[in-house]
Amino acid sequence: MKRWDGILIALFLLPAALWLLLQRPQPERLLVNIYVDGELVSSAPLPAQATALRIEGVGGYNLLLLEPDGVRMQAADCPAGDCVHSGKITRAPMAIACLPHHVLVVLEGAAETGEGGVDIVAG
Ligand SMILES: [Zn+2]
């Protein structure tokens, strides 16, 4: 399942990726997976332009800022605000957790398929 999802995403993204390549170097494609209370509520690639995304967590909200090169928690109404202070994540498999709201934001590398040659990347 996961492999096919990756292929579909790669096919869907290919024209956009090519277009992006003309604009700026894109070292790796990353998916932003958002979990609330253990459930995957959103899975999308990093956007070409900065985009704010409001997440309805458990007992509060989180405002996520998706940027072409990473993700950070811009605002939240959790008591400690640790998620906001944790800064920007830019690589897989980094994550931002908001424990009070049961929100987990994980960067994942997109499947490396459909590119013709396969680069073996260790680590
Ligand atoms: Zn928080």
Rounded-to-integer distance, Cα 95 and Cα 108, Å:
9
What's the average model confidence in pLDDT over 4-15?
79
Ligand 1 centre to CA of 69 (Å) is 22
Q: What class is the 2-109 domain? A: mainly beta
Ligand 1 centre to CA of 47 (Å) is 23
Helix, strand, or coil here: 106?
A: strand
Beta strands (DSSP E) in 1-123 are 30-36, 39-45, 51-57, 60-67, 70-76, 88-89, 95-98, 103-109
Ligand 1 centre to CA of 23 (Å) is 34
Mean pLDDT taken over the chain: 86
Max distance between CA atoms of the chain, in angstroms, equals: 48
Residue 74 has pLDDT above 80, yes or no: yes
Domain boundaries, the chain: 2-109
Entry pTM: 0.68
Out of 19-23, 71-75, 108-112, least confident range: 19-23
What residues does the ion ligand 1 have nearby, CB within 5 Å?
76, 78, 83, 98
Rounded-to-integer distance, Cα 85 and Cα 61, Å:
15
Residue 2 has pLDDT above 80, yes or no: no
